[in-house]
Amino acid sequence: MALGGMPQRLLVALAGALCLALPVQASAGGFFIGDIGARGLARGGAFVAAPDSVLALHYNPGALSLLGEGLHVEVDISTVSLDYQFTRTCPCIDPSKPGAAAADALLAQSPGHLGVATNSAGVQLIPFITAAYQLPWHHLTIAAGVYAMTSPGKLKFGKRSESSAEALVNFQPQRYSLIDLDLFEAYYNLGVSIEPIEGLRLGFVGQLYEFRVTQAVNLWGNTTLSQNAEDITLDIPVVLSFAAPLRPNFMFGISYTPTFAKEISVGFSMMGKRNARSEGNAKLVVPKFLEDLGNSGITGSGVNVEVNLPAMIRGGVQYAVPQVFAAEVALEVETWSDYDRVVVRGKDIAVSILGKNQPLGKVILPERFQNTFSIRAGGELNIWEPVLSLRAGYSFETSAMSKDFIDASAVDFEKHGLHFGAATTWAGVTLQAGMAYFIMPSFTTTTSEKSMIGPLTGDLGSTELLTRVGNGTYSGSYFLFSGSISVALDPLMKAI
């Protein structure tokens, strides 16, 4: 056997597998909804032109000057539930390879390789807490708040394997793309807004963001000792944990209501592109076939990961008649083409094959994400205020993923959202509720090029049996509910 170049080839392949297992897609498209807070959610995210709420800290910080003088506080709790299924089917072997049809037929006869994977993560809670204070001078407003993006931070398809023996029992059709994901994401904001001339409002937010992720996935040891594609005895359970420290970002916004047409408002806001460099650990469980080589194994666990996350741009036009109604149409663009690659640098990971060691080097993995846009239309009926205000909206968002490069870990396809909500105000205290149902039309693909990574190459490994893991049928839907209490201190003190 030609083992001279084996350690380096094995290590590079393992690094590529680590890249594919990264959870950074958890902020993309289908995971990221963007409708924060009960009022914004109820209006379908069409809350950009003149959001007269502390939610402006997220939607358009320029509009914070619309709040009114004094102290304003809002506490909002959202829940999100994702009903998501992936039914894996073949073709699994590259059709251009000899014997592909026979290998596909063998997989189809083996229970567990194909079939249905269902997310069982359940309901998750997402907070939004913000306070703002407005001074009389040009409606100068200062706001501070913390929130998480409205997205499911957990996915769970089955039991995580802590050993190769457990992997034999936890037989899951999607195991080479995702087993479970646990994502924590938080944004800390300090914003200021001013109205330098009547009707023109400008705002800026300084932002710190962080995320922590743990994700489990299986690799496959593609040794030439086996002729059975996806022989589960060769599975390599991997648990990845990453923590990005606090990083700076920014957001700015403009809101304008012309003095000659006060029924019309226009707004624009932008959140900057985020660069996330994370320190992490990768725990790989060595399968028996590698141990049997003798004097072989994997040491170390430190990894450095670098990705770019997109800028978000919003624009909206609102027509409103005070104390009667408001209606808005908004457009949102997310520049997911910025997520063009993942860079992985090993810190202390090394692979030993028959006593020969090779440290993990720098690996660059290209991706195929594309920019997304969403159309949002919504508004509110206010003729019964302050006793009751009714809200409704509709949203549509395109996918950041190509159907030819998708797998079960990317819950990202077109979404149609139906939004509803209501509010009541008494003496400066407002209670609000919003809900939305996001429909993701199911689709089937037989052309996904996402395939498992084979750690072994050369005389010990074969690429002939590396299967494609993204073909099948995808279906799902989201249900979001948000409830909030907000207080305008000045009206409350007057009532008291």
SS3 138: helix
> Does residue 258 sit within a domain?
yes
Q: Report the number of secondary-structure helices (H) and strands (E) in the chain.
A: 7, 23
Locate 224 and state its tokens: 């030439």
Contact residues for 313 (Cβ-Cβ < 8 A; gap 6+): 268, 269, 270, 271, 332, 333, 334, 335
Is residue 1 a part of any domain in this protein? no
Radius of gyration of the chain (CA): 26
Give the span between the Cα atoms of 88 and 177, in whole angstroms.
Answer: 11
Is the CB of residue 84 less than 8 Å from the CB of residue 411? Answer: yes
- List the CATH number of the domain containing 330: 2.40.160.60
DSSP character for 67?
S
Structural domain containing residue 64:
6-495
Please tell me the pTM assigned to this model.
0.86
Task: Give the per-residue pLDDT at 17.
Answer: 44
Residue type, 481: F
Please, how many CA atoms are within 13 Å of residue 256, restricted to the half-sphere of its CB? Answer: 9
Total domains present in the chain:
1
Cβ atoms within 10 Å of 263's Cβ, excluding its own: 12
Helix (H/G/I), strand (E/B), else coil: 119? coil
| CA 181 vs CA 178, 185, 410: distances in Å | 8, 13, 11
Burial 212-250 (b: 16+ CB within 10 A, else e): bbbbbbbbbbbbeebeebbbbebbbbbbbbbebeeeebe
Amino acid type, 242: F
Q: In this structure, which amino acid lies at residue 275? A: N
Least Cα distance to 31 among 76, 80, 68, 78 occurs for 80
Enumerate residues 6+ apart whose C-beta is below 8 A from 418: 394, 436, 437, 439
Q: Which among 166, 224, 197, 158 has a CA at the least distance from the CA of 466?
A: 224
Q: For residue 346, what pLDDT is reported?
A: 65
Token pair belonging to 437? 């149902």
- Measured from the Cβ of residue 350, the count of other Cβ atoms closer than 10 Å reads 15
By C-alpha distance, which of 220, 235, 103 is closest to 166? 235
- The whole-number pLDDT of residue 366 equals 58
Site of tokens 């710190």:
208
Please check whether residue 421 is in contact with residue 432, taking contact to mean a CB–CB distance below 8 angstroms: yes
Residue 165 pLDDT: 73
Q: What pLDDT, on the 0 to 100 scale, is given for residue 406?
A: 86
Q: Under DSSP, is residue 75 helix (H, G, I), strand (E, B) or coil?
A: strand
Q: What is the pLDDT along the chain (496 residues), one digit of tens a residue?
A: 233 333 444 444 444 444 444 444 444 433 456 688 999 999 999 999 999 999 999 999 999 999 999 999 999 999 988 899 999 998 988 888 877 888 888 888 877 789 999 999 889 888 999 999 999 999 999 999 999 877 777 889 988 877 777 777 778 899 988 898 888 888 999 999 999 999 999 999 999 998 888 888 888 877 666 677 788 877 888 888 878 788 899 999 999 999 999 999 999 999 998 877 777 777 777 666 666 666 666 676 677 777 777 899 999 999 999 999 999 999 999 988 877 666 766 666 666 655 666 555 566 665 678 899 999 999 999 999 999 999 999 999 998 887 888 888 877 788 999 999 999 998 889 999 999 999 988 999 998 888 887 666 566 567 777 889 999 999 999 899 999 999 887 665 665 6
CA distance 16 to 469: 16
Residues 239, 161: Cα–Cα separation, whole Å: 9
Exposed/middle/buried for 282, CB within 10 Å: 0-12, 13-18, 19+? buried
What pLDDT is stored for residue 73 in this prediction?
94
392 in Cβ contact with 46 (< 8 Å): no
Q: 362 and 338 in contact (C-beta within 8 Å)?
A: no
At CA 28, angle to CA 24 and CA 34, rounded to 5?
A: 125
Residue 272 domain-assigned (yes or no): yes
Picking from 60, 28, 86, the residue whose alpha carbon sits closest to that of residue 374 is 28
Q: Measure the CA–CA gap between 385 and 325, rounded to whole angstroms.
A: 10
What pLDDT score does 257 carry? Answer: 98
Distance CA 460, CA 10 (A): 10
Residue 286: how many other CB atoms lie within 10 Å: 15
Backbone angles phi, psi at 457, to 5 degrees: -135, -175
Give me 214's structure tokens. 């743990």
Q: Which residues neighbour 109 within 8 Å (Cβ) at sequence distance 6 or greater?
A: none
Retrieve residue 411's tokens: 């819950």
Q: Which of 82, 70, 81, 188 is nearest to 140 (CA)?
A: 70
Task: Indicate whether 472 belongs to any domain.
Answer: yes
Compute the distance between CA of residue 65 and CA of residue 62 in angstroms, rounded to an integer: 7
